[in-house]
Amino acid sequence: MLCKILVVEDSRAFRKYLNIQLSQAGFQAVFAESIAQAHEILARENDFLCSVLDYCLPDGPDGEIIDDVLNYGLQAIILTANFSEHIREKVLSKGVIDYLLKDSASSVSYLIPLLRRLQENCRHKALVVEDSKTVRTHLINLLERQNLQVIAAENGTQAIELLQQHTNISLIITDHDMPEKDGITMTREIRRNFDRNQLAILGLSGSSDRSMTARFLKAGANDFLYKPFNQEEFYCRIHHILNMKDTADKLYKMANQDALTGLWNRRYFFNQHSRGTTEEHNNIAMLDIDFFKKVNDNHGHDGGDAVLVTVAKQLQHHFSDATVARFGGEEFCIQSNIDRTIFVSQLELVRLKIEQLIMSHNGTEINITISIGASFGNKSIDEMLSESDARLYTAKKNGRNQVVWQ
């Protein structure tokens, strides 16, 4: 579903221009020409990502629309035709996300990435580490306004505890001077387990010590800001850090995930498991779709691809606690640390499920079966893979559609 943006703008030409730009960027613009119309829309729809508001409207020439829209709990980005320090301060003090000058195409080319950032932000969780309650609350408000999920700690020790409980934190904003553990020491400790691409850190300090920037960056922070900072600078840094993080995440996925099925690829599998395991149970299974060439021959490459995706989904569903990888072609590998007997019964179950599954493609039905070879114990990954492979070969030789595990 397209992400909806409320645009309140009286200029017909600018509305038309925004409509083209927003729809090309994948947003759905809902337009109002006046404050009155905006109220009508907001009374019946409240599922907007945010609003883009003209500062001067026929029924409110001095930014009156802003409070009205904010009162509906909707975030706002302001467009102004004239810039003045007075308007800037007035607008920002109301708690809007940003304001833009409506003077050129560059303002719209700033608006689109800003909207995309807001859209992406809801996937990110931020941890604020700050001992002053006033500053902490201010930081939380600023980040929540950006659609980020936010949790907070009063010092470095508490922050590290929270980091262990919340495994999905992607950004930390931390002060330096705090009781128990300061921000630089905490950053250094965090970097032992998380690199800059996994967990971004923005350091803050109200100190007059000008070496603070270098100290934070050398300890592993992604960026640093002296307090007091202004909202625009803070948001620019946060956006920059999160854009870098999203790019790093995308690159990681491209390098480690199979593009067709979304499963892990061979490279990821070997990186994860090449060093062996200390787990009590260690199981590997190699799976291969039977007579897959025939699926391609009978249903085309598209049909074959659809089958690969369906099998991948089944494997993910049945082995949610394991590492499931597509090794290439129609071959998959599972590494699991559960009890061997349970693992074998899971393999049997998924084999049966796939045998019973009727997939439909372009109006035709596709049935497939899979063959599986499994290996157990604390051997090297290479030994386990070649044992599984040999058992998979046996399964194929013995008639396919079966699990061989001894």
Ligand X SMILES: Nc1nc2c(ncn2[C@@H]2O[C@H](COP(=O)(O)OP(=O)(O)OP(=O)(O)O)[C@@H](O)[C@H]2O)c(=O)[nH]1
Nearer to ligand X, 159 or 368 (CB): 368
Nearer to ligand X, 113 or 399 (CB): 399
Nearer to ligand X, 7 or 289 (CB): 289
The contacts of residue 7 (CB under 8 Å, 6+ apart) are 15, 18, 22, 29, 30, 31, 32, 51, 52, 53
How many residues of this chain interact with ligand X, rule: CB under 6 A?
A: 15
Residue nearest to ligand X (CB): 304
Taking the complex as a whole, the smallest distance from the CB of residue 155 to ligand X amounts, in Å, to 51
Nearer to ligand X, 11 or 256 (CB): 256
Taking the complex as a whole, the smallest distance from the CB of residue 250 to ligand X amounts, in Å, to 22
Among 88, 82, 42, 86, which residue's Cα sits nearest to residue 65? 42
Question: What character string, x for contact with ligand X (CB under 6 A) and - otherwise, covers 106-135?
Answer: ------------------------------
Please report, as residue ranges, which positions from 224 to 263 form the binding site for ligand X (by CB under 6 A): 260
Q: Annotated catalytic, 189? A: no
Taking the complex as a whole, the smallest distance from the CB of residue 294 to ligand X amounts, in Å, to 6
Please report, as residue ranges, which positions from 266 to 295 form the binding site for ligand X (by CB under 6 A): 288-293
Does position 389 bind ligand X by CB under 6 A? no
Taking the complex as a whole, the smallest distance from the CB of residue 262 to ligand X amounts, in Å, to 13
Nearer to ligand X, 244 or 309 (CB): 309
Say which amino acid occupies 319: F
Q: Which residues pair with 328 in a beta bridge?
A: 331
Please report, as residue ranges, which positions from 292 to 351 form the binding site for ligand X (by CB under 6 A): 292-293, 296, 301, 304-305, 308, 329-330
Please report, as residue ranges, which positions from 47 to 76 form the binding site for ligand X (by CB under 6 A): none
Taking the complex as a whole, the smallest distance from the CB of residue 306 to ligand X amounts, in Å, to 8
Taking the complex as a whole, the smallest distance from the CB of residue 292 to ligand X amounts, in Å, to 3
Positions marked active-site: 330
Residues that bind ligand X (CB under 6 A): 260, 288-293, 296, 301, 304-305, 308, 329-330, 396
